[in-house]
Structure 1
Amino acid sequence: MSTVDKEVLLEGLSALLQTTVKPYNGLEEKSHLDELTLFNILEIALTKYIADILLQQATVTSFNSYVRQEMFVDMDEFFDPPFDYDFRYTSDNSICMRGNERYKRPCGWYRFALKVLNKYPDGNAWLGTDGWRCQSVAGEWPVSYHGTTVEGATGIIKSHYRAGPRKQYVRGIYLTYDIDQASGYSREFTSKKNGKKYRVLLQNRINPKMRKVCDRPDYWLIEVPEGTSPAVEKEIVEKSIHPYGILLKEV
């Protein structure tokens, strides 16, 4: 991708987080950067997804009070270009496995890698090994995609997961390994830089010990029970989902 696409990437990140994200150039106050270390910005993103999916006013209020209208990100600290991958011209129906679950490659998308090595307390085994392969390796987590809007989240919950004899909807984060399904719930934006329209998604690894398989098996759930405190909710998210790529696709 050309250098202009880095600007489109930030527009995509802004659409994903529903705020304005700009590159940190050393001139902004240090406090801005402190809030935007890799782990914190991913936490912000996932907190926003929880707010969208659960539609809980308390969570939304907490999120809105935490996020600035304008945010700054250190591009060198946040992104990991050697692990970027261009799937835009890839057409591959191979059956691949990651974490002993099907991995559907994001054909048609460009993945900007996030700098995640040694960022989590559980080490790096969740990522598996680098390079092309069809089989899982020991310790790695399955791949999932997420980009749900409020409307889309409601649809997923109503269509794909019910629990218990009373058919109650379960509170939590819904993800899928199917990039085509996820694309239907992605955020869409028009670039101010080039006027083109794009979709944006997060590519994640999901902890197999924390996820539940929905009635429709291509959807998975990280349950966050009613009444969970913000601190425990945060702990559940951190243990369950590790985002490692931002996907962009021109539409």
Structure 2
Amino acid sequence: MSRSTFTMSAVEKEVVLEALSALLGVPVKSGSKGGLNVHELCIGNFFSSLLSGRLTTDLVLGVFDASVRDELFVDMEEFFDPKYDYDFTHCNDKSNCLRGNEAYKRPCGWYRCAIKVLDKYPDGNVWLGTIGWRSHSVPGEWPVSYHGTSIEGAKGIVKSHYKAGQGDLYGRGIYSTNDIYEASGYSKEFTSKTNGKTYRVLLQNRINPQMRKVCNREEYWLIQIPEGTSPEKEREIVEKSIRPYGILLKQV
């Protein structure tokens, strides 16, 4: 694992919380309420809240809009998996790599804070491939994509997208790209109140090759979510189709 001055000790936990806040459009603080409730962020509701603009909890608790909440809490030990963090800030590797039989451009210049996704999905961990550096794909793994946010933040990501064409040329849904350089133009930028530095933040995802649509510009991939889809169905589509496994930070 590569290390430099831009390690998790330097990327203070408070800065990571600020990155989460920038992505979600709601202040996120460290802490646990001792069980899932409408104020607590976890793996189960993070992905759908980030990608669809809705923060969903267990269906027993229903669905609510994160924009009406003053703040959210996250258990850092349960949400992040530091042993899989990786420092790409000094990486200049131009090796030809594959993930899910698609080109994988490593996020050179960024630091990845790993999200704890192992054993979080009912279909197991095959979608992640095998652990460790390799240039080849392994059976069953999903390709890597990168996702930014709209200028409005988390709200409306499904309705807006990377500028892959005029209007909704490719349809309504979640847009991402396997080109880190393309994605960086859509990163969310924030200035840390902790250290005064400015960062960009992106998501590193795996995307289900059977659920995505390749756009006319082949570096853009779409997970289609038709207009009128219920929040429950939206969440189901998201979890089967695109799974963030890292938050990327880059100082600017």
TM score, norm. by length of structure 2? 0.84
2:188 matched residue in structure 1: 187
Deviation digits for residues 134-158 of structure 1 (CA, Å, limit 9, x no counterpart): 0000000000010121479455243
Q: What is the alpha-carbon distance in structure 2 between the residues aligned to residue 243 and residue 80 of structure 1? A: 13
The answer as to whether partners of 1:86 and 1:111 remain within 8 angstroms in 2 is yes
Q: Which runs of 5+ in 2 are unaligned?
A: 1-6, 56-62
Q: What is the alpha-carbon distance in structure 1 between the residues aligned to residue 221 and residue 69 of structure 2? A: 31
The answer as to whether partners of 1:156 and 1:174 remain within 8 angstroms in 2 is no
Greater shift, 79-88 or 65-74, is seen at 65-74
Alpha-carbon distance, 1:250 to partner: 0.3
2:20 matched residue in structure 1: 13
Q: Say yes or no: does 1:216 pair with 2:217.
A: yes
Q: What is the alpha-carbon distance in structure 2 between the residues aligned to residue 83 and residue 245 of structure 1? A: 9
Alpha-carbon distance, 1:230 to partner: 2.1
Q: Say yes or no: does 1:99 pair with 2:100.
A: yes
Q: Say yes or no: does 1:47 pair with 2:84.
A: no
Greater shift, 209-218 or 223-232, is seen at 223-232
2:200 matched residue in structure 1: 199
In proportion to residue count, which structure has more helix?
Answer: 1
Alpha-carbon distance, 1:67 to partner: 5.8
Q: What is the alpha-carbon distance in structure 2 between the residues aligned to residue 76 and residue 208 of structure 1? A: 31
Alpha-carbon distance, 1:119 to partner: 0.1
Deviation digits for residues 63-115 of structure 1 (CA, Å, limit 9, x no counterpart): 63676221111011000010000000101111100000010100000000011
Over aligned residues, Cα RMSD in angstroms? 2.4
2:60 matched residue in structure 1: none
Instruction: Percent identity, please.
Output: 62
Q: What is the alpha-carbon distance in structure 2 between the residues aligned to residue 245 and residue 110 of structure 1? A: 9
Say which SS state the counterpart of residue 203 (structure 2) adopts: strand
Q: What is the alpha-carbon distance in structure 1 between the residues aligned to residue 93 and residue 240 of structure 2? A: 31
Alpha-carbon distance, 1:49 to partner: 8.4
TM score, norm. by length of structure 1? 0.85
1:82 matched residue in structure 2: 83
Deviation digits for residues 194-251 of structure 1 (CA, Å, limit 9, x no counterpart): 1110000111000000001000000000011122222222211111011100000001
Which amino acid is 1:117 matched to? Answer: L
Which amino acid is 1:36 matched to? Answer: L
Q: Residue 134 and residue 67 in structure 1: after superposition, are their counterparts in 2 closer, same or farther (change >3 A)?
A: farther
Q: Residue 219 and residue 161 in structure 1: after superposition, are their counterparts in 2 closer, same or farther (change >3 A)?
A: farther
Aligned residues: 232
Q: What is the alpha-carbon distance in structure 2 between the residues aligned to residue 154 and residue 43 of structure 1? A: 16
Greater shift, 150-159 or 86-95, is seen at 150-159
1:239 matched residue in structure 2: 240
The answer as to whether partners of 2:26 and 2:67 remain within 8 angstroms in 1 is no
Among 158, 164, 183, the residue aligned to 2:165: 158
Alpha-carbon distance, 1:29 to partner: 6.7
The answer as to whether partners of 1:201 and 1:247 remain within 8 angstroms in 2 is yes
Alpha-carbon distance, 1:33 to partner: 8.0
Q: Residue 145 and residue 84 in structure 1: after superposition, are their counterparts in 2 closer, same or farther (change >3 A)?
A: same
Q: Which runs of 5+ in 1 are unaligned?
A: 51-61, 163-168
2:43 matched residue in structure 1: 38
Q: What is the alpha-carbon distance in structure 2 between the residues aligned to residue 233 and residue 127 of structure 1? A: 22
Q: How does 1:84-163 map to 2 (within 5 A)?
A: 84-150=85-151, 153-154=160-161, 156-159=163-166, 162=169
2:58 matched residue in structure 1: none
Alpha-carbon distance, 1:38 to partner: 1.7
1:250 matched residue in structure 2: 251
Q: What is the alpha-carbon distance in structure 2 between the residues aligned to residue 155 and residue 3 of structure 1? A: 31
Q: Residue 141 and residue 6 in structure 1: after superposition, are their counterparts in 2 closer, same or farther (change >3 A)?
A: same
